Structure 1
Amino acid sequence: MKNILLCILALTLFSACGSRKFSKNNKKIEKNAKRTGDDDVNHTALSYINLYKDVAISQMKNNGIPASIILAQGLLESGNGNSSLAKYANNHFGIKCTSDWTGKVYYKDDDQKNDCFRVYKNAQESFKDHSVFLKRKRYSALFELDRNDYKNWAIGLKQAGYATNPKYPELLTGIIEKYKLYQYDSPESETEKFSRENRVFAEINKNIPLENKKFNPTNGPQNNNNTIIHEVGKGDTLFSISKKYNLTVEEIKQLNNLVGNDIKIGQKLKVVK
Structure 2
Amino acid sequence: MVKKIIAFLILATIVSCSSSKPAIATTRKAAAVQKPRVAATKKQTPVKPTVKSYPSTNVTTEVIQSTSKTVVTSDLINNYVLQFKDIAMGNMTKYGIPASIILAQGILESGAGRGDLAIEANNHFGIKCHNDWLGESVRHDDDSAQECFRKYPLAAESYRDHALFLVGKKRYATLFTYEKDDYKSWAKGLRAAGYATDPNYPDKLISYIERYNLHQYDCQVTGRNYKPFEKSSTVKNSSTPAKSSSNANSNDPNLYEVQQGDTLYSISKKFNVLVDDLKRKNNLSDNAISIGQRLKVK
What is residue 88 of structure 2 aligned with on the other side?
A: 56
Paired AA for residue 115 in structure 2: S
Paired AA for residue 106 in structure 2: G
What is residue 209 of structure 2 aligned with on the other side?
A: 176
Q: CA RMSD in A?
A: 1.6
Q: Offset of 1:99 from its aligned partner?
A: 2.1
Distance 2:222 2:119 in 1: 34
Matched, 1:100 2:124: no
Which residue among 154, 158, 162 is the counterpart of 2:195?
A: 162
Q: Higher Cα Rg: structure 1 or 2?
A: 2
Q: Offset of 1:159 from its aligned partner?
A: 1.1
Q: Offset of 1:188 from its aligned partner?
A: 4.5
Unmatched segments (≥5 aa) in structure 2:
1-72, 224-298
Distance 1:97 1:162 in 2: 14
Q: Offset of 1:109 from its aligned partner?
A: 0.7
Paired AA for residue 47 in structure 1: N
3-state DSSP of counterpart to 2:208 = helix
Mapping for residues 166-205 of structure 1, pairs under 5 Å: 166-186=199-219, 188=222
3-state DSSP of counterpart to 1:106 = strand
Percent of aligned positions that are identical: 52
Q: Offset of 1:113 from its aligned partner?
A: 1.0
Mapping for residues 7-22 of structure 1, pairs under 5 Å: none
3-state DSSP of counterpart to 1:185 = helix
Distance 2:203 2:132 in 1: 33
TM-score normalised by L of structure 2 = 0.48
Q: Offset of 1:86 from its aligned partner?
A: 0.2
3-state DSSP of counterpart to 2:85 = helix
Distance 2:132 2:215 in 1: 34
Unmatched segments (≥5 aa) in structure 1:
1-41, 190-273
Distance 1:159 1:101 in 2: 24
Q: Which has the higher helix share?
A: 1
What is residue 128 of structure 1 aligned with on the other side?
A: 160
Distance 1:159 1:149 in 2: 16
Q: Offset of 1:97 from its aligned partner?
A: 0.8
Give the direction of change, closer, same or farther, for the CA distance of 1:188–1:179 in structure 2 (3 Å limit). closer
What is residue 78 of structure 1 aligned with on the other side?
A: 110
Distance 1:168 1:98 in 2: 22
Mapping for residues 1-273 of structure 1, pairs under 5 Å: 44-135=76-167, 136-186=169-219, 188=222
Structure 1 residues 92-149: Cα deviation after superposition (integer angstroms, max 9, x where no partner): 0011112222211111111221101111010000000001111121110111111111
Distance 1:69 1:120 in 2: 21
The number of equivalent residue pairs is 148
